[in-house]
Structure 1
Amino acid sequence: MTGMKIVCRTKRSRAIRSISMISLLGSALLAGCAGLDTPGGDVPGYDLPGFVRGGILHERYDGRTDDLLTGGLGSAGLANPSPPTFADPSHPTAAELRTRAIHANYRALVDMTPGGGYGTLYGPAVGIGGLGMIAGHEYLALADHGDGSGVTIMVQVPDSFGIGQTCIVTAPSSGSRGVYGAIATAGEWGLKRGCAVAYTDKGTGIGVHDLSADTVGLVTGERVPAGSSPDRVNFRAGLDGAARTAFNAAFPNRLAWKHAHSGGNPESRWGRDVLDSIELAFAILNIHHPGPNGRRHVPANTVVIASSVSNGGGASLRATETDLSGLIDGVAVSEPNVNPIHDPSFAIRQGGQPPFRSHSRSLYDTITLVNLYGPCAALAVPDAPLDAGASAGRCEGLFRNGLLKSSGVQAQAAEAMEVINGYGILPEQNFLQPAYGSFSVPQSIAVTYANAYAKAGVERNLCDYSFAYAEKGIPAPLPPAAAADLFATGNGIPPTGKVVLINNNAPGGPREDRSSTLDQNLPGALCLRGLATNPSEGFRASLDEIRATGGLRGKPVVIVNGRADGIIPPNHASRPYYALTQKTPGAGNVRYYEVTNAGHLDAFNAFPGFDARYVPLHHYFFQALDLMWDHLVNGASLPPSQVVRTVPRGPGAPAIGPANLPPIRREAAEDALIRFDGTELSIPE
């Protein structure tokens, strides 16, 4: 702990005070900050965890001019599609970046239209009224695990903390988003409940090293020269000066990206990152927010729910599997990116369909298959909106390479869709997949995760891909204003903020990947697929590192998933993971709820064509959290595993209501129950 600094700031004065921490054992931690932020009286000392690098940044938000949940925008401000502005677009302040990051991340994860449920089913003001603004404290830290890449952790403590049952909710970011990536999901639920919320970007987040300008981002988002502020930089590429100069000469205007190019496998630590966030939350609570008469907050008197969605949900499940200290009491997650080990002793059967045994394939396996065949298969869904990802050239290229046997583009498209569905990727996702393709979702996940699993630095140009800002498809210098905005609006994978994937081998010179050839860079897609079908020993080892066992240490767990999930296929994630838990002794309190007419990205529900077909899975995620709370605090039993049969809004997409969204039922009908008999997981239609 020697030499560590704690930085204390108040929202009101922006005063900054630093203290050296020579030895904190047995003393009141953060005593030097007491006048600013710490409640009166002696504070029991928990040392800050040793992984904290560069101290803690602290802000107090009054709930009127700024707040924890909405960044001062309120519910209506978040619903405004126009983002908050910067006074100086090239040099936004940390506060401006934070507000825009909250706005961007909220809108990216949920349907923000009133007809879809915003303002009635969910949203900052639902349940608390007013503008939905929540006063409290926010603590930001950078964790260093010795590999040179930073993991951002944030703890939010609402002023309502400690009124009633004390609690912590984890909110690891979904996707590769930054630390505010789960603000709209686990963040909203936890803050309204009066819980402290422990966030982490899981070592992914928005870390961008502009190799030509040699600038990097701070943990608070500001851009600085790569050689400055080492304790605040959240990512820099592992290139020395000579190597960077050589790379820039060969590949000018390229960017190194935190998730892709850290040279490690961040996903292998996601569970540990969640546990770290809980550990930091306990330390912060005991430093700043002790209970009555100085009572310490410990796992025995604090309810801890591991939560979040997508990648964040998978991270919380992994955290629970590795929770040797008993930090976690229960789990409630939605659409988790969990990669279960394959257990061939059981099959999955949906309704009267044949049993499916080739389950539990990794996300990398399924996403590279979809990335390869999806642009062709999209032509078999002619009525799907947002079908810009469709490609007759990809169909013809697959045929030339012997990967399709049919003649004619329409027949090839139908065959490509059959290949996808034959891999256990459900037909219910087929309508959504072209939209995901139009936003390059499979392509971007495939490239990012390939680099991470290969532990490839930016200089590798794995499969001849690179990242760059582009003008008319050609790599160009990253403008200062675009660079400054990446922290706030970036999603952690390209395309984002006009940063795109580049095909380095494009005819005529490097250019944006999908437009680089008529077949949408089929060689690149084949290379990515080859890493899944014929992985190197090191690549296979990285995939092994992320496998989940289903051993949840007897903790109660609720998992919800949309049947139409086209990014994390249920047959390869939630379904087999649930079955795996049932084969583990002491796993009787794990529940799986599968929701019909629900996909992976609720934000798509706002688009015409999707609004009539899909319901918000987010609504059921909040139900899952409510059920887990009631179980842990009040001793209520968890409803049995079941299929929840929803009703789409239909033509014209009238405002969603209770008739569309039947609840998860404590007494589910027999024909809705999900059953596992040891050899078969039965999922009703």
Structure 2
Amino acid sequence: MNIHRSLAPLCAALALLPGGISVADAAPPRPTAAAPVFEQWRQTVHRGNDELLTAGLGIDALRSATAPAFTKPAQPTAEETRRRAIWSSWRGIADLTPGGGFGDVYGSLQAVPGREFSAYARIPGARQPHRVLVQVPDNFDASRRCLLVAASSGSRGIYGAIAVAGGWGLAHGCAVAYTDKGAGSDYYDLDARTGFQDDGTPASQGALAFVPAGTAATQGIAFKHAHSGDNPEADWGGHLLQALQFGLQALDRAYPESTPFTAANTRTLGVGVSNGGGAVLRAAEIEGDWFDAMVAGEPNVSVAGAPPLYDFVTQAALLMPCALLAEDDLPQPPMRAQAVPAWTQRCATLKSAGLVQGDDTAAQARSARQLLLDAGLSADALRAGAFSTGFDLWRAIAATYSSAYGRYGAGEHPCAYSFSAAGADGTPAAAEMRATWWSEGSGIPPGSGVMLVDGNAAGAEADPLRGLNCLRALGNGDSADARRVRAGIAAATAQAPRRGLPIVVIHGLDDGLVPISMTSDRYVPFARKAGAQIAYWRVNHAQHFDSLLAFPEYRKRYVPLLPYMFAALDQVWGHLEDPTQALPKDALIQPSPRAEAPLLREQLSIPAIQATPSR
């Protein structure tokens, strides 16, 4: 989920849904890499006031709630859409508030001049392409070549991992390769028949990044994650590998005198958070020495035999509005006083439907809370889930992922959900609004003027739970649609990583969106049983969205996760440079939130680098 500071960056930071289907005793064949073909190559130069890391904005402009302006609001230039996309991506992922530590305690915002290469790539059998992009800093050293490879968090656009990968990789003189992993912000307006070109500018013709095919809808908004006809999560590992392969080809073009750039002669690290972290672990399955090490933060990853995360998401959409009434001292936003009436009504509706017990609201809330705890959610993660509940993100996530799992096109969702940018008077989206989608869209509406429409809510006898119950039944029912969706969930189930690949998994104990108990706590033992080389850092007082630390209620309770990502990269990099330095070890980290004081490094309790014992 991501909520662009209000509702977009977070609707995408989201990440979910894995499969929980049993597998045969014999391990499935390990995925292998096919040589990809990249189309619509594009190269641009970024120096001076338009550099790689912040598009020349710097910390003050990144902190500003005012987006970089378009000179012509309905017809932005490629430079303007890129700058706004980078602004939005930083704000959606990182805590950039004064005293938050970024650029001082961890990370870098120093200007990085260089070049960008971008193209479309396609997974074999996929209906739609995905974007790949490589940033090559001018200080790249071809004699010490390195490539950091990242997938966007949530369903964000191509710059969605810049705060994670760019903030570390470019500062180390590495090239950085990105993929939107088959999702992204290439929305398509069915009313205006308008989408986006490779440079992020709106257009109604040409080589658009996404045009929905065979759609049953003629109105509203289609977007790639929900309506591509693909199941991108099943191919996350392939998306990341294709970004790596594109990165090597881009370096061949950038430094023709130093070719060839290969995985054998270039240091390669995979990194990502949330869905991006899940992509990192899925890429770790692929045969071949493509990656030297992996760092996965708060990964959305599924393990066969366990309940899929989709099951939790649909349960949270139903129960959490009621369950949170049994929790005191919730972080704000959402503002509790404004949420209580709707949450109280949800309790009453759940009681009438026989889904919770209790004769009054307090008892009904305790009943809903217990059901979530019984499903494996911790009390701290439940409390942190207030944000996703307050902004109705659970429902948006479930509608989008079920559409992707079932490979439904626009207008085909079995639970009658759709997306629209129409105004209250039914007028289609204005061109000025549409022009912002590529830069600011989270990849999963609502946000940026696009809303989720519940086709079950119309009419005087509308059932307020009909749509939610329908979404839930897609995960546990026996209809043809349910079987179709569950097949998509099963296809996204993780396999064990290849042996010998160093991996660091980092997860916050208070993660309310991708709960650690339902993802990393299941994946790490599963992978270790298969012989994987994994360090597991569990971080107390860390939830899912660093950007929420802009709110006082959040920074008094939580610490950012990005410092641990950068520290793990530092330690893995140090080991690759000098094998006498040990790889990271398991750690249960006990940091202290900063509240209103500036963050100090010692408050983070980052695990120390250890030396390898001499033999």
TM-score by length of 2: 0.88
In 1, Cα distance between the equivalents of 2:203 and 2:46?
A: 26
C-alpha contact 2:456 2:467 (8 A) present in aligned 1:
no
Q: Which residue of 1 aligns with 2:522?
A: 576
In 2, Cα distance between the equivalents of 1:404 and 1:287?
A: 61
TM-score by length of 1: 0.80
C-alpha contact 1:389 1:440 (8 A) present in aligned 2:
no
Q: Deviations over 1:631-659 (max 9, x none)?
A: 22211212321100111235xx2222134
In the alignment, which of 332, 357, 365 is matched to residue 311 of structure 2?
Answer: 365
What is the deviation of 1:667?
Answer: 6.6
In 2, Cα distance between the equivalents of 1:475 and 1:547?
A: 41
In the alignment, which of 90, 93, 96 is matched to residue 106 of structure 1?
Answer: 90
Q: Which residue of 1 aligns with 2:333?
A: 386
Q: Which residue of 1 aligns with 2:19?
A: none
Trace 1:96-495 onto structure 2 (pairs within 5 A).
96-125=80-109, 132-145=110-123, 147-162=126-141, 165-225=144-204, 228-229=205-206, 232-239=207-214, 247-248=217-218, 253-290=219-256, 294-322=258-286, 324-342=287-305, 360-384=306-330, 385-387=332-334, 391-472=343-424, 476-495=427-446
C-alpha contact 2:571 2:583 (8 A) present in aligned 1:
yes
Greater shift after overlay, 380-389 or 326-335? 380-389
What is the deviation of 1:542?
Answer: 1.0
C-alpha contact 2:105 2:599 (8 A) present in aligned 1:
no
Q: Which residue of 2 aligns with 1:530?
A: 473
Q: Secondary structure at the match of 1:460?
A: coil
In 2, Cα distance between the equivalents of 1:223 and 1:363?
A: 35
CA separation of 1:633/1:659 partners in 2, compared to 1, >3 Å: closer, same or farther?
closer
C-alpha contact 2:36 2:242 (8 A) present in aligned 1:
no
C-alpha contact 2:421 2:428 (8 A) present in aligned 1:
yes
In 2, Cα distance between the equivalents of 1:158 and 1:340?
A: 38
In 2, Cα distance between the equivalents of 1:581 and 1:443?
A: 31
Q: Secondary structure at the match of 2:268?
A: strand
In 2, Cα distance between the equivalents of 1:137 and 1:198?
A: 12
What is the deviation of 1:124?
Answer: 3.5
In 2, Cα distance between the equivalents of 1:375 and 1:166?
A: 50
What is the deviation of 1:144?
Answer: 3.2
CA separation of 1:160/1:604 partners in 2, compared to 1, >3 Å: closer, same or farther?
same
In the alignment, which of 27, 30, 38 is matched to residue 52 of structure 1?
Answer: 38
Q: Which residue of 1 aligns with 2:594?
A: 649
Q: How many corresponding residue pairs?
A: 567
* Letter aligned with residue 277 of structure 1: A
Q: Secondary structure at the match of 1:307?
A: strand
In 1, Cα distance between the equivalents of 2:558 and 2:426?
A: 38
* Letter aligned with residue 247 of structure 2: A
Q: Which residue of 2 aligns with 1:345?
A: none
CA separation of 1:382/1:319 partners in 2, compared to 1, >3 Å: closer, same or farther?
same
Q: Which residue of 2 aligns with 1:606?
A: 550
Q: Secondary structure at the match of 2:86?
A: helix
CA separation of 1:191/1:409 partners in 2, compared to 1, >3 Å: closer, same or farther?
same
C-alpha contact 2:152 2:181 (8 A) present in aligned 1:
yes
In 2, Cα distance between the equivalents of 1:626 and 1:389?
A: 42
Q: Deviations over 1:183-211 (max 9, x none)?
A: 11112111111111110000100121211
What is the deviation of 1:475?
Answer: 5.0
C-alpha contact 1:172 1:202 (8 A) present in aligned 2:
yes
1:637 has 2:555 as partner = no
* Residue ranges of structure 2 left out of the alignment (5+ in a row): 1-33
Q: Deviations over 1:461-496 (max 9, x none)?
A: 331111011434x75411111100000000001111
Q: Deviations over 1:414-464 (max 9, x none)?
A: 221211121111111122211121222212111110100111111213311
C-alpha contact 2:406 2:485 (8 A) present in aligned 1:
yes
In 1, Cα distance between the equivalents of 2:67 and 2:561?
A: 25
Q: Secondary structure at the match of 2:134?
A: strand
* Letter aligned with residue 436 of structure 2: D
C-alpha contact 2:91 2:547 (8 A) present in aligned 1:
yes
Q: Secondary structure at the match of 1:467?
A: strand
In 2, Cα distance between the equivalents of 1:443 and 1:114?
A: 33
C-alpha contact 1:162 1:194 (8 A) present in aligned 2:
yes
Q: Which residue of 2 aligns with 1:69?
A: 53
- CA-atom RMSD, angstroms? 2.1
In 2, Cα distance between the equivalents of 1:389 and 1:452?
A: 30
C-alpha contact 1:49 1:280 (8 A) present in aligned 2:
no
Q: Deviations over 1:368-420 (max 9, x none)?
A: 11111111122223532123555222111111111101121122112212111
Q: Deviations over 1:85-126 (max 9, x none)?
A: 00011111111000000000100001111222233224543x
In 1, Cα distance between the equivalents of 2:578 and 2:351?
A: 60
CA separation of 1:661/1:164 partners in 2, compared to 1, >3 Å: closer, same or farther?
farther
In 2, Cα distance between the equivalents of 1:660 and 1:410?
A: 37
Q: Secondary structure at the match of 1:156?
A: strand
What is the deviation of 1:552?
Answer: 3.0
C-alpha contact 1:205 1:258 (8 A) present in aligned 2:
yes
C-alpha contact 1:598 1:617 (8 A) present in aligned 2:
yes
* Letter aligned with residue 178 of structure 1: G
In 1, Cα distance between the equivalents of 2:301 and 2:527?
A: 12
Q: Which residue of 1 aligns with 2:23?
A: none
Greater shift after overlay, 76-85 or 448-457? 76-85
Q: Which residue of 1 aligns with 2:10?
A: none
CA separation of 1:495/1:161 partners in 2, compared to 1, >3 Å: closer, same or farther?
same
Q: Secondary structure at the match of 1:101?
A: helix
* Letter aligned with residue 526 of structure 2: L
What is the deviation of 1:557?
Answer: 0.4
C-alpha contact 1:74 1:124 (8 A) present in aligned 2:
no
Q: Deviations over 1:484-519 (max 9, x none)?
A: 00000000011110211111232349xxxxxx97x8
* Letter aligned with residue 621 of structure 1: M
C-alpha contact 2:571 2:609 (8 A) present in aligned 1:
no
What is the deviation of 1:269?
Answer: 1.1
In 2, Cα distance between the equivalents of 1:182 and 1:313?
A: 10
Identity of aligned residues (%): 36
What is the deviation of 1:80?
Answer: 2.0
Q: Which residue of 2 aligns with 1:44?
A: none
C-alpha contact 2:568 2:584 (8 A) present in aligned 1:
no
* Residue ranges of structure 1 left out of the alignment (5+ in a row): 1-47, 126-131, 343-359, 510-515, 669-685
